[in-house]
Structure 1
Amino acid sequence: MSDHENCDSCGVSSCGARDRKPQENDEQFQARQRLERNLCQIDNKILVMSGKGGVGKSTTALNLALALAKEGKAVGLLDVDLHGPSLPTMLGMADQRPHATEEGIIPLEFQGLRVMSIGFLLEQSDQAMIMRGPMKHGAIQQFLADVVWGPLDVLVIDCPPGTGDEPLSAAQLLGRGADTVIVTTPQDVALVDVEKSISFSRQLNINILGIIENMAGFVCPHCEEVTDLFGRGGGEKLADKTQVPFLGRIPLDPRMVVAGDSGKPFILDHPDTEAAKALQHVAQTAIEKMENAA
């Protein structure tokens, strides 16, 4: 993990955070330094994206983060879905709140995972977040700059569907050191929209770590037989078409739905299932790709 603690002690003379930019006031300069100081301590940043809703992206992001932690990595998980944050419910932590110190906001912890979501800051879980673009950018900047993430091997960022304000702000704030993981389901109607996330990544010069094909076959909880409800191979076909790495298939297990609703993440509650093993394999593949790129 990176060992840079603050901008004053950093020995990298070329770091852009050391000097004030033209037209930058004191507040803007200090905010940028806080952001750079935090990001400097995080070795890898993964934006989990999908051009389409309903593909199980948040479930995949959460279980991927936990799978990375099971591989011995120090992992943070940031939910930037500002209008529909689901992490608090999926972790069973909807009633917990982070606290602030002089250093910043201390993220909550779950099984060693450092987590933050705007859902932890709402007075009521059904409270609507009414925000325009600039407010969203400011909120995401605060999550990255003012949360005390500390040294991390990986920060997983769960983005809302599409290529709008939230993933754009996160990508711009993270800079070129970020990667994207694209989540899709096998059927063509999903692939058409998901391909836009690949285009998004390329237009912003973000490295694409790979594609995950989620809901790739239904696993019967009684006999373990797999039925391809949504077809098969669409994610791998898209990876071949776009020349993007294919990270693996995650089968659809009904226990995953129950796990998300009950606040007991699937990969921890059902570690011996085919879906959990597939998630762990995806995490191992992602680690190999990040280490090879370092």
Structure 2
Amino acid sequence: MSQDEKCNSCSQNTGSCSPDKCGIDKLPQNEYNNIKHVVAVMSGKGGVGKSSVSALLAVSLANQGYKVGILDADITGPSIPKMFGVSGLPEQGDNIMYAKETDKGIKIMSLNLLLENEDMPVIWRGPVIAGAVKQFWTDVAWGDIDYLVVDLPPGTGDVPLTVLQSLPLDGVIIVTSPQDLANMVVRKAVNMVKYMNIPVLGFVENMSYLNCPDCGKEIQVFGKSHADSLANTMGLRLLEKLPIDPALSELSDNGQIEKYGRELFKGLDDIINTQVTSIS
């Protein structure tokens, strides 16, 4: 299908849209913000560790000296505040909320910070959830940010579509796991991002292996890695292969993920510049 045919079949087509906007203008930054890069973390299915990758991406960038924020767009299943040990209502001003800060200065906004009890379910329909995500961009004071990481819910539904259409993304990082089923669903997510004419910066294979605590041998708990074949068939850059790490799980459960010492995601600036140039 040609790009013209895609645009003509799009339900959002206004008759004067371009492929990168798909009928919806990108939301501008508010007067409180100076955000240089926006990167979304996406997965085709749940349970692959997308929020963990989002948190590790933010921590790694902060360790490299960047000013970082995390917009938790997983409205019905937010886990970012717990990983960082952040709680309590954000400060508010006139029609503005101020993002909470972690020990390392990472700024966070999540619906769980706005609930009286973190165990309360969010029983909202898609349009309301999508509206909340937009407000985390328009109504939050993030300040000076080098990288804003957007942690998306799994799948290709309302919220991922809203973020891809409405936020000025520099690119998307895809998260998968070794199972072939996960890779099949990942391909759907990749095709969605490409359809929206947004760069895919690369992918992360999470839970790729487990280091045996006795002999150090890599155990492929979920079967043989498909990372190389996925990179070749989809033309994607493999950013990281992350192990199953009990230490990471413990730190996340205790709200101390910033203490995780593994060095990850080096050279993201170069990757963004390469991908954005290649797609333009």
TM-score category, normalised to shorter length: 0.7 to 0.9
Q: List per-residue Cα deviations over 1:48-103 (Å, max 9, x = no partner).
A: 0000111111011101111011111111111111111111211122x422010137
1:36 counterpart SS class: coil
Aligned to 1:192: 184
In 1, Cα distance between equivalents of 2:206 and 2:70: 19
Alignment of 1:281-292 (within 5 A): 283-292=265-274
Q: Aligned partner of 1:220: which letter?
A: C
Alignment of 1:139-150 (within 5 A): 139-150=132-143
Q: Which sits farther off after the overlay, 38-47 or 155-164?
A: 38-47
Aligned to 1:247: 239
Structure 1 residue 236: Cα displacement = 2.6
Q: For structure 2, list consecutive stretches of 5 or more residues without a partner in the other structure.
A: 1-24
Q: Does 2:199 correspond to 1:207?
A: yes
Aligned to 2:21: none
1:259 equivalent among 251, 260, 263: 251
Aligned to 1:125: 118
Structure 1 residue 193: Cα displacement = 0.9
Q: Which sits farther off after the overlay, 103-112 or 116-125?
A: 103-112
Asked whether the 8 Å contact 1:211–1:245 carries over to 2, the reply is yes
2:174 counterpart SS class: strand
1:215 counterpart SS class: coil
Q: For structure 1, list consecutive stretches of 5 or more residues without a partner in the other structure.
A: 1-31
Aligned to 1:43: 36
1:284 counterpart SS class: coil
Structure 1 residue 130: Cα displacement = 1.4
In 2, Cα distance between equivalents of 1:157 and 1:116: 10
The Cα RMSD (Å) is: 2.1
Asked whether the 8 Å contact 2:30–2:139 carries over to 1, the reply is no
Q: Which sits farther off after the overlay, 225-234 or 107-116?
A: 225-234
Asked whether the 8 Å contact 1:51–1:162 carries over to 2, the reply is yes
In 2, Cα distance between equivalents of 1:242 and 1:39: 39
1:202 counterpart SS class: helix
Structure-2 change in CA distance of 1:99 and 1:229 (3 Å): same
Asked whether the 8 Å contact 2:202–2:238 carries over to 1, the reply is yes
Structure-2 change in CA distance of 1:127 and 1:288 (3 Å): same
2:259 equivalent among 265, 269, 293: 269
1:251 counterpart SS class: coil
Give percent identity, aligned residues only. 37
Structure-2 change in CA distance of 1:41 and 1:284 (3 Å): same
Aligned to 2:66: 73
In 1, Cα distance between equivalents of 2:227 and 2:174: 9
Aligned to 2:9: none
Asked whether the 8 Å contact 1:39–1:174 carries over to 2, the reply is no
2:118 counterpart SS class: coil
Q: How many residues of Structure 1 are paired with residues of Structure 2 in the alignment?
A: 251
So what's the TM-score if we normalise by structure 1?
Answer: 0.80
1:236 counterpart SS class: helix
Q: Aligned partner of 1:156: which letter?
A: V
2:41 counterpart SS class: strand
In 2, Cα distance between equivalents of 1:250 and 1:51: 18
2:54 equivalent among 61, 67, 83: 61
Aligned to 1:23: none
Structure 1 residue 44: Cα displacement = 1.2
Q: List per-residue Cα deviations over 1:209-229 (Å, max 9, x = no partner).
A: 001111111023455432111
Q: Aligned partner of 1:146: which letter?
A: D
1:216 counterpart SS class: coil
